[in-house]
Each structure stands twice: as structure tokens, then as C-alpha cells.
Amino acid sequence: MTQSPFQSDLSVNTDKARQQASALTQLLRVAVACVALGLSVLCLQFGTAYLTAQHSEATVSRWFKGLEIPAATDIELMQKNLESVSEILPSDAGVELALARLYLLRGQAENSEVFYEAARTTLNDIRLAQPTHFQPLALLVLLDDMQNIPIADAMPNIEKALSAGAFEKETQLTIGPLIVKKWQHLSAHAQELAGPFVKSALREEDTKQRMYSAMREYALVTPFLSYSSNKKTSAELREMASSLMKHTENATYR
């Protein structure tokens, strides 16, 4: 049976439509494969960055607390790693805090204002992104002390750190000794804020011992007697105050 011209055109159009549909299907398959590959690479990149971040943060934390003494080359390599991770995870506060601590370590080791200012910029960036984050404030207080910032200029950071992290162990370990060191120069408001901070720090053994060490170093105990929350701590503080007084008297008579 002979096809009409209309039927012939319809057949041709149908074949073209099928070919186009087939080509489109192939194109979609390629596109999906490319997207899947891209996502796989991206996931691998982010996964590697997160693993590197976790390891780096833990290592820098040990260095910062003095639990390990890194070589200068280790610090430089760690800085490069963290800066690379920071580009992949720009909003990760843990990475930025580790970087800030690393800059503080380098600033202290090399007596370099460049690294101190890098730390300050990083910490201020974290605060802009997360205003309620207490750790940047504690590190800013430490940085102010390292740079010998006048106490009047440093007071806002001290007061903010005491308000935000009074009961945070990390803050107590970081700035506890500085609160003792600067106590007699703190504003009345800062001393008021420091009350709960000191009282809380004297409850836990590790933070208490850090405070005790600072009290001995700066020969200042009496202002903190009223912040003891138990008899044992009160007795230890009184004994320390008595010992420091005797030491001062002996030094005077020599």
C-alpha cells in the first residue's frame, strides 16, 4: 500500500523526534554524570578539609596550652595547611580560632607585630560572624596583654570576655592569670564581673591551680579570699596569703 505524502512526512518527523529525544537523553545522561562527578570531587574536597581541620585544631590546641613544643618549621607548615583549609571552609569558627592561636604563637616566638595583627584581624572577623562566641574575646584579652595595650584601652575586651565566658573553662584557663595580674588596675565594673568568674574557676582543680599559680607569681591572694566556695579552697588561699606575707616580711628585713 502506497503512503500518502502526509504519512511520509509524519514518519520522517517522527524519526527526527525520536533521534532528537535520544540525543537529548544522552546529553542529560552526560550532564548528570558530570554533576555527579563534580559533587563527588566537591564532597571529597570538603571531607578532606574537615579531617585536616579536626587534626590541625587539636594539634594547635596542644601547642597553645604548652603540652607540646613545636618546631618553627612545624608551625609554618601548619599555618599553610590551615590557611588552605580556611579557603575551603571560610565560615568554620574552629579553623579560624586555630589560625588565630597559631598567629599568636608565631607572634610571641618571633616577637612579630605582623602575626599579632593577623591574629587580631582573624579574631575580629570571627566576632563579626558570631558576636556571641566567647573564645575570640578571651584570645583578644590575651593578645592585648601580649601587645602591651594600655589597660584603659584593653578594658572593653576584658569586660566583654568576663560577661560572655564567666563560666567557660576555656576562658578561665586563657585569661584567669591575666585577671589576677591586672586585678588592681581593673575597673570597678570589671572586678564585679570577675567575681563569678573567679568563684567558678576556683571550683575546678585545673582552673584553680592555674589561678593559684598566678596568685603566687603576682603575689596577690587577699582580694580573692571572698570568692572561695568551700572550706578546702578557703584554707588553701589563707595559707598562700600567709606564706606570701611572711616571704615579703623576710625580704624586707634582709
* Model confidence pLDDT, tens digit, residues 185-240: 999 999 999 999 999 999 999 999 999 999 999 999 999 999 998 999 999 999 99
Q: In percent, how much of the chain has pLDDT > 70?
A: 78
On whether the CB atoms of residues 61 and 98 are closer than 8 A, the answer is yes
Structural domain count, the chain: 2
Angle at 157 between CA 207 and CA 188, to 5 degrees: 80
Q: Based on C-alpha coordinates, what's the Rg of the chain?
A: 31
Whether residues 181 and 228 share a domain: the answer is: yes
Residue 11 resides in a domain:
no
**pLDDT score recorded for residue 246:** 84
Residue 18 resides in a domain:
no
Write down the residue that cell numbers 597553645 correspond to: 64
Which contacts (CB < 8 Å, 24+ apart) does range 62-68 have? 63/101, 63/102, 63/105, 64/101, 64/104, 64/105, 65/173
Say what angle helices 72-88 and 93-110 make with each other, to 10 degrees.
150
Residue 136 resides in a domain:
no
Three-state DSSP class for 166? coil
**pLDDT score recorded for residue 247:** 75
Average pLDDT over residues 1-25: 59
Angle at 252 between CA 251 and CA 253, to 5 degrees: 95
Whether residues 173 and 232 share a domain: the answer is: yes
Whether residues 169 and 211 share a domain: the answer is: yes
- pLDDT band (50, 70, 90) for residue 176: very high
Domain boundary residue, one of 87, 108, 131: 131
- Pairwise CA distance, residues 146 & 119, whole Å: 12
Residue 102 resides in a domain:
yes
pLDDT surpassing 80 at residue 41: no
- Pairwise CA distance, residues 247 & 131, whole Å: 45
Whether residues 170 and 251 share a domain: the answer is: yes
Whether residues 213 and 253 share a domain: the answer is: yes
Q: What is the mean pLDDT of the chain?
A: 85
Residue 98 resides in a domain:
yes
Whether residues 176 and 243 share a domain: the answer is: yes
- What is the tens place of the pLDDT at every residue in 107-154? 999 999 999 999 999 999 999 999 889 999 999 999 999 999 999 999
- Pairwise CA distance, residues 199 & 176, whole Å: 11
Residue 227 resides in a domain:
yes
Q: How crowded is residue 32: how many other Cβ atoms within 10 Å of its Cβ?
A: 10
Q: Which of residues 87 and 16 earns the better pLDDT score?
A: 87
Residue 38 resides in a domain:
no
- Pairwise CA distance, residues 188 & 53, whole Å: 41
- pLDDT band (50, 70, 90) for residue 67: confident
Dihedral over Cα of 251, 252, 253, 254: its sign? positive
Domain boundary residue, one of 116, 131, 146: 131
Residue 110 resides in a domain:
yes
Domain boundary residue, one of 80, 113, 131: 131
Q: Helices (DSSP H) in 65-148: which residue ranges?
A: 72-88, 93-110, 113-129, 134-146
Write down the residue that cell numbers 558530570 correspond to: 34
Write down the residue that cell numbers 605582623 correspond to: 114
**pLDDT score recorded for residue 91:** 76
pLDDT surpassing 60 at residue 45: no
- Pairwise CA distance, residues 158 & 152, whole Å: 10
Whether residues 113 and 175 share a domain: the answer is: no
Hey, what's the cell of 136?
Answer: 575570640
Question: Where in the sequence is the domain holding 253, given as residue range(s)?
Answer: 163-254
Whether residues 59 and 127 share a domain: the answer is: yes
